[in-house]
């Protein structure tokens, strides 16, 4: 018997379509509080992201093609 996982937004309780959605991770300066992870829809993630800032990508920059 096959099983299907259904993801639901933690903020609005709407169903998140497959291949869509985002994960919001909240890390506190005080490590004793731990980390909070939220599953949200794309639109909710965009609204939350407008209030924050982008984090730079890690690792080496791609080599320039000659």
pLDDT over 90 at 16, yes or no:
yes
Domain-located, residue 21: yes
Q: What's the pLDDT tens digit per position in 29-51?
A: 998 999 999 999 999 999 999 99
Helix, coil or strand: residue 40: strand
- On average, the pLDDT of the chain sits at 90
Please report whether residue 1 resides in a domain: no
pTM above 0.75, yes or no: no
- What percent of the chain clears pLDDT 70, i.e. is strictly above it? 98
Burial of 7 (0-12, 13-18, 19+ CB in 10 A): middle
pLDDT for the residue numbered 55: 85
2 belongs to a structural domain: no
Q: Is residue 38 part of a domain?
A: yes
Q: Is residue 65 a part of any domain in this protein? A: no
Instruction: Give me the number of domains the chain comprises.
Output: 1
**Which pLDDT score, from 0 to 100, does residue 66 have?**
62
- Which domain covers residue 16, as residue numbers? 7-50
């Amino acid at each position: 018997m096959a099983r299907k996982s259904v993801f639901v937004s933690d903020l609005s309780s709407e169903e998140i379509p497959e291949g869509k959605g985002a994960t919001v991770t909240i890390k506190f300066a005080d490590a004793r509080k731990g980390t909070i992870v939220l599953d949200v829809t794309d639109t909710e993630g965009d609204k939350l992201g407008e209030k924050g800032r982008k984090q730079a990508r890690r690792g080496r920059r791609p080599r320039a093609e000659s």
